[in-house]
A and B are shown apart, each in its own frame.
Chain A
Amino acid sequence: MTLPRCLPYVLKQVTRHRVRSLLTVAGIAIAMFLFTVVQAMSEGVGEATSASANETTLVVYRKDRYCPATSQLPQDYQRRIESVEGVVSATPTKVVVSNCRTSLDVVTYRGVPKDAFLRDRGDALEIVAGSVADWQRRTDAALVGETLANRRALRPGMTFDAAGITVYVAGVFRSDDPQDQNVAFTSLEFVQLAGRDQLGIVTQFEVKVADASLLEDVAASIDETFATAQEPTATFTKQAFVGRIASDLIELVGFARWLGLGCLAAVLALVGNSILLSVQSRVSEHAVLQTLGFSGRLVTALIVAEGILLAIVGGAVGASAALAVAHIGSFALSVEGTSIPIIADPALLLTGLVVCGVIGVVAGLFPAWQASRREIAACFRTA
């Protein structure tokens, strides 16, 4: 095949027009960095808000409240919730956040009754450092999610301070649930005592239901139980709860997808512009190639290959940089105690490369076709 033999020629065109190529690649890389970050956020939204088929957890919140500071429920609702048919257990949870605004670096405490927590959730947490025994022994101990630990460089034995609460890091865990990954679990009483008049008050209950098919009925029954109480409840599936609390954030991420598309348009424009200029400045060179016997189709292919090469190199640089930053930074978009993780999924690199490859073809095709259609003899006349 002729084309593979000619690919070194394409490579030389790119590497030996160094400034032009570097500028184009840098522009593409920046756009693809943004695109990949947006994709990583969108994946996080998907992961945080779409339920798995065997999800059996409900969250009981104070009705018409949207943040942990105002959602206050009596801790003794626990017995009444647990007496609702279909409920296996209810874990009272007090949530405290270090920052009431949306931020990439919020510390979220979840105060839980330690024994009940370990009984219900223990299996789902994989301890990657430190020990659970240590956590049970000390009242100020925290089990820290991996994302939070990475972001704050926390290791067992350290203490850290956030929201006016100082805790001792007893262990670091990994969990499949993106909400867990970004929180520090401490003892319920410890968190209650840190606030004024908070003993006996919790933010929410995490309710285990016997079977996934019962979720809706159980939620309705719980809310009915407290319908006329002074503190009525609103019960959601875990994912619906995140979707409700973080709805502004999710809307924002949804809007950011348009920015992502804008980035792709920018890549298209960059590659298109670069190829167009290079083709225009090489009119006689392409005529020479054709004089030597290169067919119009081969010239087209070589120009398109140049577009693909530029786009893919830029895309690889930008997407890898975005994934590296997301991975090292372990960011999560947090609001009111819920988290949207920014997921550094390696598959996003592949997505980026494929998208760039396609853009390279689209951007190169028209100038390439034009170049191959020109009258060869006329090209030498104008040059």
Chain B
Amino acid sequence: MTLIECRELTREYRKGGSVIRPLDGLDLDVDRGEFLSLMGPSGSGKTTLLNLIAGIDSPTSGRLLVDGTDLAALTRSRLAAWRSEHVGYVFQLYNLVPVLTAYENVELPLLLHPLSRRERHERVVSALGRVGLDDRDSHYPRQLSGGQEQRVAIARAIVTNPAILVADEPTGDLDKASAHAVMSLLQELNSELGKTIIMVTHDPATTAYSSRTLHLDKGRLAEANESREVPA
């Protein structure tokens, strides 16, 4: 079943007199429950695509349906509400709030939902447990290793229980062992919780954790390189 549908998806930026087109008529379908890896040279539009799917950027033209919602038709504030329900974003550089503890960082997205303090507590504890950091809840980001920070960021992304996770080079700044921990975690979230994951990566080794790998080039899919594995 298709969860994300991109048709002729185009994003242009105007810079001075010239127009940059990081996405140029891209067609893509992602099924519910897929774990998709996106590769491609730097500047090929990978981040731009993730941002459109995550609803923090809007297409210049084309269609983008996510779980039946036409994101281009939403107002800025509707789009914000949509994000809080449907997507979790994992950044390369974690982007935790430095003055908040791990617990408080994970709690942050829950503040938008009408939950009691107790309900929030249960969810935060369960999310931190899921990423294996229940004992680090009172640590500040600067007191955590990069791998731990990224796991806290993943906990923050899943605490509201969204259907989709997007991850932009989530292991790009990590050593091998930490990268493995993060990738195993993402795979687990995909197979056990059924999260649909779209991950940008530079490291071919990480694509082994995903169910499908696509290559982007100059704002389009490089069809020749597409390899589709049948999910087990």
Contact = CB atoms under 8 A, between A and B. Distances in A.
Interface of A: 2, 5-6, 9, 12-13, 16-17, 284-285, 287-297, 375-377, 380
Contacts of B84: 292-294
A291 B153 CA distance: 13
17 contacts: A2-B111, A9-B100, A12-B100, A12-B104, A16-B99, A285-B97, A288-B91, A288-B95, A292-B89, A293-B112, A294-B80, A294-B84, A295-B80, A296-B80, A297-B77, A377-B51, A377-B56
A17 B111 contact: no
B81 interface: yes
Contact of B81 (A9, A13, A295): A295
Contacts of A284: 95
Nearest to A292: B109
Interface of B: 47-48, 51, 54, 56-57, 76-77, 80-85, 89, 91, 95, 97-100, 104, 108-109, 111-112, 156, 160
Nearest to A381: B47
A293 B57 contact: no
Given A9-B111, A12-B100, A375 B85 contact: no
Given A12-B99, A288-B95, A293 B85 contact: yes
Nearest to A282: B97
Contacts of B51: 376-377
B121 to A, nearest CB: 13
A290 B56 contact: yes
A12 B97 CA distance: 11
A2 B56 CA distance: 21
A290 B97 CA distance: 13
B157 to A, nearest CB: 9
A6 B111 contact: yes
Nearest to B91: A380
A377 B77 CA distance: 16
- Interface pairs A-B: 10 shortest CB-CB: A293-B84, A16-B99, A377-B57, A376-B56, A295-B80, A292-B109, A293-B83, A377-B51, A295-B77, A5-B111
B90 to A, nearest CB: 10
